[in-house]
Amino acid sequence: MKPSPALYVFEGPDGVGKSTLSKWFAKTLRSRGERVVIWSSFPGNAKGSVGDLVYKLHHDPASLNVKAIHPLCLQLFHVAAHIDAIESRFAKCVRDGATIVLDRYWWSTWVYGRFDGGDAVTLDKMIAIEKRTWGKIKPAKVFLVARHLSENSEKQRRLEQLYAQLARKEAHFTPVVRVLNDGILKTAKNQILSSLL
C-alpha cells in the first residue's frame, strides 16, 4: 500500500549520520512509488536564500562584517530562515501531496540554543512562531539519531542529553523513533524501516 504524503524528520547532533540516513530514506520511499522532496539540511542554503545568509552568519560571520553574535540572536535567525523555507516551499509541497524528508527541524534550534546557554522559555517562545508557521503540518515521525562511541566528546554527550530531554517532551505530540547509528549502517536502516510497519 502506498504511504500517504507526510513529513519525516531526522534529528540529532552533528556527525551522527543524519544526512546519510535521510537521503537513503528518501530514496527508499521513492522506490516504493512515493513522490519525495528532500532538502538535505533544513532550511538549506541555496544561493540567495535566507538560509544562505544565516548559514554564512553561523559559519563565517566575518564575511558579513559581524564580529560577535549572541547565541539566542543566532537561533532567532535560524527560526527566520526556517519560516522562509516553510512558507516558500515546504507547506505548498505537503499540500500538493509530496512527502518531505528533512535533515534537521526546529529541534536543533532548541538544543543548540540551550547548549550555548540560551534560556529555555525564550527559546520556546521563539520556536512557537515557527510552529505556528508549520500550522497543521506535523511530522509523521521524528528519527532521533545518536552515535554512542567511546571517543564522543563532552560536547557530543551533552548535545545527546539535550536531544533526549526534548524527545521525551515531544513524544507526547509526535512519534519519536530513536535510531542508534554506531557504525553499522544496516542496523540503523533496519531500525528506521521497522518503525514504518
Annotated domain spans of the chain: 7-194
H or E stretch at 113: helix 106-115
pLDDT digits (tens, 9 = 90+) for 153-186: 899 999 999 999 999 999 999 999 999 998 789 9
167: amino acid identity, one letter: A
DSSP 41: S
- CA 97 to CA 72: how far, in whole Å? 35
What pLDDT score was predicted for residue 1? Answer: 39
pLDDT digits (tens, 9 = 90+) for 73-95: 999 999 999 999 999 888 888 88
CATH topology of domain 7-194: Rossmann fold (3.40.50)
What pLDDT score was predicted for residue 41? Answer: 80
Closest CA to 114 of 143, 57, 72: 72
- CA 140 to CA 184: how far, in whole Å? 25
pTM over 0.75, yes/no: yes
- How many Cα atoms occupy the beta-carbon half-sphere of 63 within 13 Å? 9
What pLDDT score was predicted for residue 96? Answer: 84
14: CB partners within 8 A, 6+ apart: none
Would you place residue 4 in the very low, low, confident or very high pLDDT band (cuts 50, 70, 90)?
low
- CA 87 to CA 49: how far, in whole Å? 12
Instruction: Classify residue 119 as exposed, middle or buried by CB count within 10 Å of its CB (0-12, 13-18, 19+).
Output: exposed
pLDDT over 80 at 187, yes or no: yes
Cell 513524544, residue?
Answer: 171
C-alpha dist (Å) from residue 91 to 87, 131, 154, 193: 6, 12, 37, 25
What pLDDT score was predicted for residue 150? Answer: 66
